[in-house]
Structure 1
Amino acid sequence: MQAIQATFDDLGTPLADVTFVVVDLETTGGTPAQCGITEIGAVKVRAGEVLGEFQTLVNPAEPIPAFISVLTGITDAMVRDAPRIESALPAFLEFAAGSVLVAHNAGFDIGFLKAAAARVGASWPGFPVLDTLHLARQLVVRDESPNHRLSSLAQVFGSSTTPDHRALHDARATVDVLHGLIERVGNLGVHTLEELRSYSSRVTPSQRRKRFLADPLPSAPGVYLFKDGSDRVLYVGTSRDIRTRVRTYFTASEQRSRMAEMVRLAHVVHPIVCQTSLEAQVRELRLIDEHKPRFNRRSKHGRTGVWVRLTQERFPRLSIVKKVSDDGAHHIGPFRSRATAQAAIDAVHEVVPLRQCTGRVTGRGTACALADMGRCGAPCTGAQSEGDYAAVVEDCRAIFSGDARPTAGLLHARLEELASQERFEDASRVRDRFLQLVRGAARAQRLAPLLRTSEIVAARRSDLGGWELVSIRHGRLAGTVVSPRGADPMPYVHAMQATAEVVPPPRPGHPAALTEETEILLRWLESPGVRIVELDGTWTCPVGGAGLIRSRLEPAVASAQEVVGFDNDVPAGRGATRKPVGGLTRTGNGLRRAV
């Protein structure tokens, strides 16, 4: 195996190579926008050696408050002949150029420097900043120091300079504190600037020690798998830059508690480089489905959805099933739970008088309460013929696979009826159920055409100037390739098609891909800039289908959740409004249509 020399970018910047400029300011107050700087003091250090110092008084162009003079010893007379900030700031910026700025409570000092730069029209260089106060809070415990003030920390680390609210003296003391803190984190395995800036005591030493797992990983897009000592997959993730992303698991930027446990168990990180982010998303999904990693929370149950089925019998009804049957029955879904599927069924029953009984219809049965309420035509008693019931079934089929707009009209009528009776909780419940219905129907209507299509070849411009080429067969990613910039993409298309996965037509209940994979591909196909190169099949969706109703209903439901609901008490008074219900709002004068 050939050894590869790691770059400094790969390893991070060693602390011994970093030039720090430790700065401290004295000011006329605590607000950068309203107060001025009276003194700047700074010390430049590298590898523990002092390279230079900077100190100047500054004329703030305003009187120094008496209590500030008592605190710092700086008086109006002392700054009368001092340079203004217009001269002092450029001199400091030149002194600090190319360094990392360090301050104790850095937000205060850097805030004043940035405000001064804006005031004099100078551009702020964007220095990296290190805050010794933040580090001290991580590293100095209460037993060592009653607080984390600079004066207290100077005693803890044996500073040769006593802080006295003069800028250069305080900067010198901060240098000693900085070196003491760096020594402590060095014992914990922190040796680079990047590790020091992201240091947090939340990251355990064992977690930090495993950062070497990221060293051999490629800086490329793809999928990464954390594995334990028995080669079991603990976690699967995806990133545009595998190495950079994996490094974050060993720093304070990773704040999920379960990830610390995952890193503790990890022995190796296995990368899978992908040509495009779309391929990475699909591979991640498939790997999670295959391995069921214990530390992944999403996409582990992609095969556990349920469907709502319109049965194939003389008098069809709705039922919840775990698989799509091959008897020609209509299905919508998948739904993520039986509860959401049942809500969709209840929404259909609200506007379409389908039978809800589960027994065999003989025409000689006894009518149930639904028939007395006008919610069912009672075919069980012979009161409704097979032909009349078939018309009711067609209304349901329209929701499932055709034009859902007439049913949406029935929904609005039902909501208006409930609202006129001031049954606002019932109206809200009906609206939410109907949203579950159109979500499931829209999902089925969008997925079905792609699942039936033998192949779609699509292309999108890549960030590097070439083309991302994708082959989708029966809703499954079959192949992908990137053509170079300036090259004719068609030879790459033909090569991709020749080597792409052979995907046989799916059988009912046995799709070629996970539903979530097909949805990822659909979102990609519908994203801006995607062009269809070849289409073997028919890819359509009904114009007035459930997707249209969903796009109108979801914003109404979302806005309804942001205001007071019907069931809440609203103070009486002119102009009081209440929660929209399915496009209706109740006001002091009655009901009006909101959307």
Structure 2
Amino acid sequence: MPDYHQETLDALFDDPRAATLFATTFVVVDLETTGGAPDGGGITEIGAVKVRGGEILGEFGTLVNPEERLPAFITVLTGITEMMLLEAPKLDTVLPAFLEFAAGAVWVAHNAPYDVGFLKAACAKLGYPWPKPIVLDTAAIARRAMIADEVPNHKLSTLARHFKAAHQPIHRALDDARATVDVLHGLFARLGSLKVHTVGDTLEFVKAVSPAQRRKRHLADGLPDKPGVYVFRGHKDRPLYIGTSSSIATRVRSYFTAAEKRARIDEMLNAAQRVEAIPCAHSLEAEVRELRLIAAHKPPYNRRSKFPERVLWLKLTAEAYPRLSVVRDLHDDGAAYLGPFSSRRGAELAAAGIYDALPIRQCTHKLSLRTITPACALAELGRCPAPCEHRVSAADYEVAAAAPFRTATVGDPGPVVRGLMARIETLSAAERFEDAAVIRSRLVAFLRAAIRMQRLASLTALPELIAARPAAAGGWELAVVRHGRLAAAGVSPPRVHPQATLDVVIATAETVQPGPGPTPRASPEETERILAWLERPETRLVKADIGWSSPATGAGRWRPFLARAEAAATVRIDLDG
């Protein structure tokens, strides 16, 4: 009874990657050469077998005159002599005949880069366009499909013996090509049990694509080629992973290729049941939506941006003798804040730097202007002015300790920086380099926070800022930012004045009320994404309710110094350099 086989619709439209292995025409090729690399050696013999569905359709075999001396070891290896090659056709005659024989087929070779490299070099040398064939490498397939206990290596002779091939390789092109056909069929039988059925499946299998990637690749079908957010959803539509891309379709497809090697993503694909696409006007809107969705759903396979509410701040309390406290929330309570910090360690490191530079008390007591509290050991060591015992007045404490901190949060952090640098220089002069390095790390933590805070505050202070940048396809990308939060986004059509689109975007923008602190209505990460978009050279500011600026003597002027401090190999940094 004939063996009927149902083809896929893709195969009917001549997509060779979608065709089943059974229905694909393969040309299995093997070369003998003079040795060396493709650009320095010549071809001495070409052998090829055309096969489809296990049936031999034709064979191609010929010696080739390489027009160069044949090394003696090649003669010993192959049995081909220079006398045999004298009357053989030259490559300019053989190559077009082979290309015609192999046209339209998927090429197969054992250690394919070697054979294909010689053929590609020959095409370039003789001026023939390279046909760009799909190539399967039986050696690469064997390395993925067979375990170490089965074969000691993946040589053609070893595999031929393992599969009990009817032909054995003897270092002659046509015989080796026939042996490769037998090995290919043996490997195909193995691939079937691994659910590899098409040419495309085989190519991905060789690239170490996991079973989950092959099984779930249909999830990438039908997604838009637009900027936006994609959400992998699992059981009960639970968000598993949220990402963003300038092309949703391209990015999601990449999860099902060999380029994706993260173990957690493979685990996520096993659980995924569908992919939701959320098209956005442009990349900024996509990035912001991604951050908000991750913060709202906290998908298990996202690592970053899941807990924006966990940022920390250093608070200088509003009392007679203010002290520093690490807090999570900002309030309009007259206190001064520094941050945000992504970890308690960072906040505590910056606080330690402030204690090194300013005489701020480190106790947690609430002090009274009337009642004296016994001093702690820090006062005895001269590291605290002992406001608890009223050794310093509230006014003097404000000038020496509290005021410089408040100034550092909104203006110039220079007094703190110089105080820390003086300590570094003193310790370095005493050759206490490890202690100096500790102070330097505190300096870096403090200065990073001050620069970050003032940069955020410069934008979040604006009730409304409107900006635009040229879109890649024409028109303008538009963004309405209110108090550091993306309130609306849009794209104007190409070759049309953007004002009409901008009017609609403004009219539909979210209402954002002011609030306390440098990030009152958005996460610090969202505002920083907006800042990065605004600071691109091609971005144009359309409107700002008030001036967008930072203090001329603020923390921003210390950015070059911070870069040197972070990169310094030693603790001795030139403050004036």
TM-score (norm 1): 0.83
Aligned to 1:400: 409
**Paired residues of 2:10 and 2:19 also in contact (CA < 8 A):** no
Aligned to 1:391: 399
Q: What's the offset of the Cα at 1:468? A: 1.0
Q: 1:580 aligned to 2:570?
A: yes
- Kindly report the root-mean-square deviation, in angstroms, between the aligned alpha carbons of the 2 structures: 3.5
Deviations for 1:153-202, whole angstroms, at most 9, x for unmatched residues?
Answer: 33445544322212233233333433443454355443444332121596
1:452 corresponds, among 446, 461, 474, to 461
2:247 corresponds, among 241, 244, 263, to 241
Aligned to 2:144: 138
> Superposition pairs for residues 111-150 of structure 1, below 5 Å?
111-113=117-119, 127-142=133-148, 144-150=150-156
Aligned to 2:114: 108
Look up the equivalent residue of 2:19 and give its one-letter code: P
Whole-angstrom CA distance in 2 between matches of 1:93 and 1:10? 20
Aligned to 2:532: 523
Q: What's the offset of the Cα at 1:267? A: 2.2
Aligned to 2:474: 465
**Paired residues of 2:425 and 2:572 also in contact (CA < 8 A):** no
Look up the equivalent residue of 1:545 and give its one-letter code: G
1:13 corresponds, among 14, 18, 26, to 18
Aligned to 2:555: 546
TM-score (norm 2): 0.85
> Superposition pairs for residues 87-486 of structure 1, below 5 Å?
100-113=106-119, 127-142=133-148, 144-157=150-163, 159-199=165-205, 203=209, 205=211, 207-359=213-365, 360=367, 362=369, 364=372, 368-371=376-379, 374-392=382-400, 393-486=402-495
Q: What's the offset of the Cα at 1:298? A: 1.5
Q: What's the offset of the Cα at 1:431? A: 1.1
Aligned to 1:564: none
Deviations for 1:513-535, whole angstroms, at most 9, x for unmatched residues?
Answer: 22221221111111231111111
SS in 2 for 1:164: coil
Deviations for 1:305-348, whole angstroms, at most 9, x for unmatched residues?
Answer: 11011222222222111111211222121111111100001111
Deviations for 1:194-240, whole angstroms, at most 9, x for unmatched residues?
Answer: 33212159655455323322224333332222222322222222233
SS in 1 for 2:31: strand
Whole-angstrom CA distance in 1 between matches of 2:261 and 2:111? 23
Q: What's the offset of the Cα at 1:449? A: 2.5
Q: What's the offset of the Cα at 1:273? A: 1.8
Whole-angstrom CA distance in 2 between matches of 1:406 and 1:123? 70
Q: What's the offset of the Cα at 1:86? A: 7.5
Q: What's the offset of the Cα at 1:70? A: 1.5
Deviations for 1:50-96, whole angstroms, at most 9, x for unmatched residues?
Answer: 66655554555654443332112223333456567677667766766
Look up the equivalent residue of 2:534 and give its one-letter code: L
SS in 1 for 2:237: coil
Whole-angstrom CA distance in 1 between matches of 2:499 and 2:563? 41
**Paired residues of 1:431 and 1:582 also in contact (CA < 8 A):** no
**Paired residues of 2:456 and 2:519 also in contact (CA < 8 A):** no
Aligned to 1:590: none
**Paired residues of 1:556 and 1:582 also in contact (CA < 8 A):** no
**Paired residues of 1:72 and 1:165 also in contact (CA < 8 A):** yes
**Paired residues of 1:457 and 1:533 also in contact (CA < 8 A):** yes
Whole-angstrom CA distance in 2 between matches of 1:528 and 1:452? 22
Please list every run of 5 or more consecutive structure 1 residues that lacks an aligned counterpart in the other structure.
561-578, 585-592
Deviations for 1:272-320, whole angstroms, at most 9, x for unmatched residues?
Answer: 2222222222222211111111222211111111101122222222211
SS in 2 for 1:457: strand
Stretch of structure 1 that moved more, 90-99 or 159-168? 90-99
Please list every run of 5 or more consecutive structure 2 residues that lacks an aligned counterpart in the other structure.
1-8
**Paired residues of 1:438 and 1:547 also in contact (CA < 8 A):** no
Deviations for 1:344-398, whole angstroms, at most 9, x for unmatched residues?
Answer: 0111122222222333154855555545655444444444333333332332223
Deviations for 1:538-568, whole angstroms, at most 9, x for unmatched residues?
Answer: 322234433443443235424x4xxxxxxxx
Change in 2 beyond 3 A, CA 1:312/1:164 = same
Whole-angstrom CA distance in 2 between matches of 1:478 and 1:10? 46
Whole-angstrom CA distance in 2 between matches of 1:552 and 1:18? 64
Q: What's the offset of the Cα at 1:438? A: 1.5
Whole-angstrom CA distance in 1 between matches of 2:246 and 2:90? 48
